[in-house]
């Protein structure tokens, strides 16, 4: 069993890569360039360095990594190709946890290097736009007055995110619902006990599309959840407590489907990216997720519903400097253009404080009547 050691780089220009490994970077470069010299040029390294490093790794790992056929360019050995596949699987499955770990480190160093920087802790249902926002907000000036806004994002289920907000473990919680969730929907049953008028405020963030992530070309011809059940397609789900799992349950109820009708309903993946990777790897045929995750892996996407992605906070923190900075940033044209360029996303009341009864319509507030007014039953 080979052991894994993790290292990180502290640098202004470290980039957005999750976890980099020089061996895997070299193998990827060889696979793309078809030669050691081409890989060395692509990586900005010398031929001698790349050749020597690959040979050392072959000795350490006990298997050849590169093979040459007569008159052919360099290719990865079967073992080398499997190493790349294993990294793609691990990166996709662990992306939310890796992002959370990096956020922890960056938050600590942000405080160490700049005690004037805004730092905001956000627990949220997994969402790729929030990852993009995190990088966007960290650029000084985007958050206003030359300051950076460091978003300490922990990806978790929608339910756990709101619980973290209520328990004081974060300042902002991200969750999502249908644009007009029904009064008797599972979303209403799930979120109503957790969010209370007068205690919480809802900030607009995005309109995004959820649907079926399928293999390129949609070989099974899936157009609905009913098709998934009818064809026996191998499904992959999101975990209990996630907003997508709640959404799926509501859509299945509307279609008259039960969990036993879907092959693989009990199998889940921790993020939209991991779900899409399972389909790309051929271990599943279809799953419920966001369009961006599908497009990023060359998969097809069948849109089913539009939903609102909300940010919630306590009323008491709405005007705190860090929350105010986030609201201001979300309303800038630069951020809204950036979001609009992402497949399946559109800014929707971005950064605005919204009436809870407008976005969570199971909350209805009776209007006050004058003392002498007659009481009439609602129609």
Q: From the first residue on, what is the mean pLDDT of each consecutive set of 10 residues in the chain (379 residues)?
A: 66 60 88 89 91 90 82 82 86 79 74 73 92 88 69 92 96 94 91 94 96 98 98 97 94 96 96 95 97 95 96 96 94 96 95 92 61 41
Q: Which residues touch 338 (CB under 8 Å, ≥6 apart)?
A: 132, 136
Round to whole Å and give the CA distance between 312 and 375: 35
290 SS3 class:
strand
Structure-token pair, residue 182: 């029904």
Residues of the chain with CATH 1.10.10.10: 22-86
Residue 273's closest CA among 170, 158, 155? 155
Dihedral sign, Cα of residue 54, residue 60, residue 61, residue 67: positive
pLDDT at position 378 is 36
Round to whole Å and give the CA distance between 337 and 333: 6
Triad 291, 295, 300: Cα angle to 5°: 80
Beta-bridge mates of residue 237: 268
Residues of the chain with CATH 3.40.190.290: 114-358
- The CATH class of 114-358 is alpha beta
Burial class (CB in 10 A: 0-12, 13-18, 19+), 324: middle
pLDDT at position 87 is 83
Beta-bridge mates of residue 179: none
Triad 181, 184, 190: Cα angle to 5°: 75
Q: Which residues touch 98 (CB under 8 Å, ≥6 apart)?
A: 18, 19, 91
Residue 206's closest CA among 106, 44, 342? 342
Round to whole Å and give the CA distance between 48 and 90: 30
Angle between helices 22-33 and 78-113 (to 10 degrees): 130
Round to whole Å and give the CA distance between 81 and 71: 21
Round to whole Å and give the CA distance between 239 and 226: 21
> What is the CATH architecture of 22-86?
Orthogonal Bundle (1.10)
Residue 275's closest CA among 259, 264, 286, 263? 286
Round to whole Å and give the CA distance between 293 and 131: 12
Structure-token pair, residue 349: 């009341």
Contact 57, 65 (CB under 8 A): yes
pLDDT at position 123 is 97
């Amino acid at each position: 069993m080979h052991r894994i050691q993790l290292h990180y780089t502290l640098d202004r220009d470290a980039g957005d890569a999750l976890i980099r490994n020089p061996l895997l970077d070299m193998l990827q470069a060889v696979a793309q360039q078809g030669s050691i010299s081409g890989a060395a040029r692509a990586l900005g390294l010398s031929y001698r360095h790349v050749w020597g490093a690959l040979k050392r790794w072959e000795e350490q790992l006990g298997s050849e990594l590169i093979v040459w056929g007569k008159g052919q360019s360099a290719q990865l050995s079967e073992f080398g190709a499997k190493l790349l596949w294993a990294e793609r699987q691990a990166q996709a499955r662990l992306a939310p946890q890796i992002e959370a770990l990096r956020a922890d480190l960056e938050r600590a160093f942000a405080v160490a290097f700049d005690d004037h920087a805004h730092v905001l802790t956000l627990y949220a249902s997994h969402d790729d736009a929030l990852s993009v926002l995190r990088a966007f907000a960290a650029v000084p000036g985007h958050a206003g007055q030359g300051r950076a806004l460091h978003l300490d994002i922990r990806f978790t289920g929608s339910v756990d995110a709101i619980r973290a907000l209520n328990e004081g473990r974060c300042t902002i919680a991200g969750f999502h619902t249908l644009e007009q969730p029904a009064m008797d929907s599972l979303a209403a049953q799930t979120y109503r006990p957790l969010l209370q008028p007068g205690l919480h405020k809802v900030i607009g963030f995005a309109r995004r599309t959820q649907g079926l992530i399928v293999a390129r070309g949609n070989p099974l011809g899936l157009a609905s959840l009913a098709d998934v059940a009818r064809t026996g397609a191998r499904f992959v789900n999101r975990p209990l407590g996630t907003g997508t799992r709640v959404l799926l349950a509501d859509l299945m109820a509307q279609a008259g489907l039960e969990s036993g009708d879907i092959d693989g309903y009990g199998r889940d993946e921790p993020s939209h990216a991991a779900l899409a990777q399972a389909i790309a790897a051929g271990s599943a045929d279809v799953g419920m997720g966001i369009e961006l995750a599908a497009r990023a892996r060359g998969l097809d996407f069948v849109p089913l519903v539009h939903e609102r992605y909300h940010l919630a906070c306590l009323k008491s923190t709405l005007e705190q400097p860090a929350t105010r900075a986030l609201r201001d940033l979300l309303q800038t044209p630069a951020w809204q253009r950036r979001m609009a360029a992402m497949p399946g996303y559109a800014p929707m009341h971005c950064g605005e404080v919204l009436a809870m009864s407008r976005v969570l319509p199971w909350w209805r507030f009776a209007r006050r009547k004058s003392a002498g007014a007659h009481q009439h039953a609602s129609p």
